[in-house]
Amino acid sequence: MCGIAGIMYKKPGGGHTGRDLINMLDGCQHRGPDSTGFALYGDDHDGELLLRFMIDPKDGGKANIAAVKRVLTEFGATIREEEIEGQNFRVRAYFAGDLQKFAYALEHAATVVSIGSSLEIIKDIGGAHDVDDVYHVARHNGTHGLGHVRLATESDVKAEAAHPFWATGFSDVAIVHNGQITNYWKMRRRLERKGFEFRTDNDSELIAVYLAEKMSHGVPLKDALRDSIDDMDGTFSFLVSTKDEIGYAKDRLAVKPMVLYETDEMIAVASEEVSLNRLFPGKALNTMEPAPGTYNTWQRSTYPSNQ
């Protein structure tokens, strides 16, 4: 019930990730008017983590912030910078311990939006421009990013249910997904038996954790995507990103749309070509639609790693 977008600049130095994703998502906002979100990758802050939390507007987030700070102290994380932005509490902190434990503890303190050394997820209700008005998405430049517009049906219209989803417990992994995973509970129980926690009942979070778990064992993203097509039942077109890569996978039934455009300078992916054309007004693009049951990845500043 949504539209997805992703972009990666191949040239060193990156590009206007925020601005480009806003344009792409505005182009397919008809696919999902309820909420909009961005996963933005900037410079890697070595040894530092960027953390974003949802805060309760009732008390200006006071209780959430206090709880987050308690956990940060408990885990020996030192805050380098903090601010409130919209409904988010944003922290830059130094942390060197076990990220998964740290993340789960933080999840119990407040709703974590994202944790990463270069990833920041920004998501809220409203359209791409509405979210930009509050969170200044357009100011974000970087190497790559994902975006998502959502039409809420099974869950409420709220920021927590918006995409992208962070792979809970895994730094810098984000996902945007269009479709429905029908063996969700089976897959989730499998991962829960391995000790992973889930913050939502959203199938997109499941895909993120599924992929991140594989990558944590050294499986390349591309192989994890290949496996996901075998393991996931349902209809899906999703995009996943890590610090260095973006990739897609598409179900075998070809139910959900996805169009790709690649040049020497960038790779851009979206649910509809109209989003890609927003980046190149007035120009006919040589796009391609990935075949059902296919997957691929791209790395920063390199040519495609496929085939």
Binding site for other proteins (CB under 8 A): 1-3, 30-34, 151-154, 156-157, 178-179, 235, 252-257, 259, 271-274, 276-278, 281-289, 291-292
Cβ at position 35, least distance to other proteins in Å: 12
Nearer to other proteins, 81 or 154 (CB): 154
Nearer to other proteins, 112 or 260 (CB): 260
Q: Which of 25, 37, 42 is nearest to 269 (CA)?
A: 25
DSSP string covering the chain, please? Answer: -EEEEEEEE-STT-B-HHHHHHHHHHHTGGG--SEEEEEEE----TTEEEEEEE--GGGTTHHHHHHHHHHHHHTT-EEEEEEEETTEEEEEEE--S-HHHHHHHHHHHS-EEEEESSEEEEEEES-HHHHHHHH-GGG--BSEEEEEEE--SSS-SSGGGSSPEE-TTSTT-EEEEEEEETTHHHHHHHHHHTT---SSS-HHHHHHHHHHHHHHTT--HHHHHHHHHHH--EEEEEEEE-SSEEEEEE-TT--S--EEEE-SSEEEEESSHHHHHHHSTT-----B-PPTT-EEEEETTS-----
Which positions are catalytic?
2
Cβ at position 51, least distance to other proteins in Å: 32
Nearer to other proteins, 19 or 69 (CB): 19
HSE, CB side, 13 Å, CA atoms: give it for residue 62.
3
Cβ at position 127, least distance to other proteins in Å: 13
Cβ at position 292, least distance to other proteins in Å: 5
Nearer to other proteins, 43 or 154 (CB): 154
Cβ at position 162, least distance to other proteins in Å: 15
Nearer to other proteins, 67 or 274 (CB): 274
